[in-house]
Amino acid sequence: WRKKEHAPQKGMPNGDTIMKYQLAIFDLDGTLLNTLDDLADAANHVLADAGFPVRTTDEVRRFVGNGYRKLIERAVPAGTGEEKINEVLSAFQSYYVNHCAVRTAPYPGVREMLETLTRNGIKVAIVSNKGDAAVKELNELYFGGLVPFAQGECEGVRRKPAPDTVNRVLEKYATDRKDAVYVGDSDVDVETGKNAGMDCISVLWGFRDEEFLKAHGATIFAMDTDELTKLILG
């Protein structure tokens, strides 16, 4: 792993600290927040209402990462028609936005990590395939004032692993992609970094394990938030 070289950053401690990155873009579910229990509860609520079998939390863990529609398509019984899928999806969207912070919590050390990065001049943002309303609500609830920009899935913008939402952040912060890193916990995030032409750090406390991530092209790993902070700061 070759360290990037950058010119000294003005305003940094001692005036001579070299940052590896200027911008860190984070996935949300499985990276900053453990949202699995609330996602599973919401999915099972709408599945039961539709008369479908409920799913285990571990099954839901494997279903998430590609947005709400993919979650519901994977959760409903095989062969379920498009009309019924749309009905269950609509119910899920309505229910989850009002129950997205019941059992959800930041992973240990996450808030402190964001504070450290910000204090050291690193810009931070969130890009997620979760619905935009829930992304913004959860960001404000758990990281209010720390992460100034959070983008979720919205109409007219391709979701990850397409680079569209990441490119929006790069444009907003006028940052070159070589000076930015994407941080996530899934194969979708690895592919997002690749498609955006950026480095990707895979965290190992989320919804996918190291073996799975390596099989999907991940090469840089963080065991905990301290290690992640060091990787970003350089």
Where in the sequence numbering do the catalytic residues fall?
Answer: 27
Cα radius of gyration (the chain) = 18
Neighbouring C-beta atoms of residue 132, cutoff 10 Å: 16
Asked if 57 and 36 count as a contact pair (C-beta separation under 8 A), the reply is yes
Contact criterion met (CB below 8 Å) for 106 and 33: yes
> Which tokens belong to 54?
């409920």
Give bridge partners of residue 167 from the DSSP assignment. none
Q: What span, in angstroms and rounded, lies between the C-alpha atoms of 101 and 205?
A: 19
- Confirm if 115 and 143 have CB atoms less than 8 A apart: no
Residue 177's SS3 state is helix
- Distances in Å between the Cα of 172 and the Cα atoms of 67, 74, 169, 230 are 23, 34, 5, 25
Cα separation, 67 vs 142, whole angstroms: 21
